[in-house]
Structure 1
Amino acid sequence: MSKALLVIDYTNDFVAEDGALTCGAPGREIEHAIVECVKEAVEKEQEIFFAVDLHEPEEPDHPETKLFPPHNLRGETGRELFGKVKELYESIKDRPNVHWLDKTRYSAFAGTPLQMLLRQKKIKTVVLAGVCTDICILHTAVDAYNEGFRIHVDQAHVASFNKTGHEWALSHFKNTLGAEVKR
């Protein structure tokens, strides 16, 4: 069974203490676990996708403009991967199994070539990591489910703004999407 790791939105704006839309300490607490799961995927020569939110400074028609402050702006440090995940990415980014995906919606599938790339590489299972559990991880999981991919989520690899949303999303992954959820 071939797997791909999707590291979603683990950027300064979503994780750093002073990030524009930070999920705070819960996001920083999963840093080591994400680094370890990326290293494991590298060792197993699995496909690894860094799916990163991308916004332009002026986007009056983008739906998120009314919901959230400006974040993950093109060319800004807030859009860079956070901490040790950035360091690790820099050391592996030239490998043929490591991919960067710009995304402009919550889901890593929306408006990106992700589905096509996974099919080309005969991937059957996606392993989700990053932030936020109840926003971008959730929407990516729903699209993965709708596209027929199996879903794995380790609670140690995802975080959110609040515990209630995080717990609800983990339950939804398992009970509604049939995901394998490690608690």
Structure 2
Amino acid sequence: MTNRALIVVDYSNDFVAPNGALTCGEAGQAIEPFIVSRIEEYNNSQDTIFFMMDLHYEDDPFHPESHLFPPHNIEGTLGRELYGRVNDIYQRIQYNDYVHYLDKTRYDSFSGTPLDLMLRERGITELEIVGVCTDICVLHTAVSAYNLNYKLTIPARGVASFDDNGHQWALGHFANSLGAVVEQ
């Protein structure tokens, strides 16, 4: 085990599939092979992998996103399941000691979750973040990781958004404001 972990953010059917409730569409689908390759590499070296998944409840008037976006990633729905080959690989590796799946109810993967505690327990200091959406959940997760003193790598080929301007802005922000390595 090394001091690095892969964080896969919100790679669900609702965010990626063509018929997803809040889909990135082709941009999100195009990063699937890269994400699969990163999961495979971390799995083969038995490095820690976290699958962070957005969780919402049907007709929840109190969640702030209820006023911003259409319903998505509703508990118990197909839309909330991991997308495509990422789901296939998760099904195969999910029982490995170094693979974890955590629900999150905010953009930020650290907010209200045991993620930071679990990373520190394992001596992890470096994070690679992949998934969607670059300028929403990936961004908020990266900002928290930066504030918690994690070293960041965010591969441009491993993140996507339904807003290309937001995607490009976030890539620059990762490098210029968070000191992240943004691999092209």
Q: Equivalent residues in 2 for 1:45-124 (5 A)? A: 45-124=46-125
1:59: Cα distance to partner? 1.1
In 1, the alpha carbon distance for the partners of 2:154 and 2:38 equals 11
Q: Tell me the amino acid that sits aligned with residue 114 of structure 2.
A: P
Paired letter, 1:131: V
In structure 2, how many angstroms separate the alpha carbons of the residues matched to 1:33 and 1:94?
22
CA distance in 2, matches of 1:74, 1:111: 17
Tell me if 1:12 matches 2:13.
yes
Aligned to 2:144: 143
Q: TM-score, normalised by structure 1?
A: 0.99
Task: Write the letter of the residue equivalent to 2:123.
Answer: K
1:136-175, aligned counterparts within 5 Å?
Answer: 136-175=137-176
The Cα shift of 1:163 comes to: 1.5
Q: Match for 2:57: what amino acid?
A: E
Q: Which runs of 4+ in 1 moved over 6 A?
A: none
Structure 1 residues 51-98: Cα deviation after superposition (integer angstroms, max 9, x where no partner): 000000021011000000000000000000000000000000000000
Q: What percent identity do the matched residue pairs reach?
A: 51
Residues of 2 paired with 1:84 and 1:58: CA distance? 30
Distance 2:59 2:122 in 1: 36
Deviations 1:87-126 (A, max 9, x none): 0000000000000000000011010000000000000011
Q: Which residue of 2 aligns with 1:42?
A: 43
Q: Secondary structure at the match of 2:116?
A: helix
Q: In 1, distance between residues paired with 2:166 and 2:108?
A: 17
Structure with higher strand content: 1
Q: CA RMSD in A?
A: 0.7
Q: Which amino acid aligns with 2:87?
A: K
Q: Secondary structure at the match of 2:156?
A: strand
Match of 2:31 in 1: 30
The 2-side partners of 1:28 and 1:180 are apart by: 23
Question: Which segments of 5 or more consecutive residues in structure 2 lack a partner in the other structure?
Answer: none
Which runs of no fewer than 5 residues in structure 1 stay unpaired?
none
Instruction: Give the paired residue count.
Output: 183
1:72 & 1:160 partners in 2: Cα distance? 16
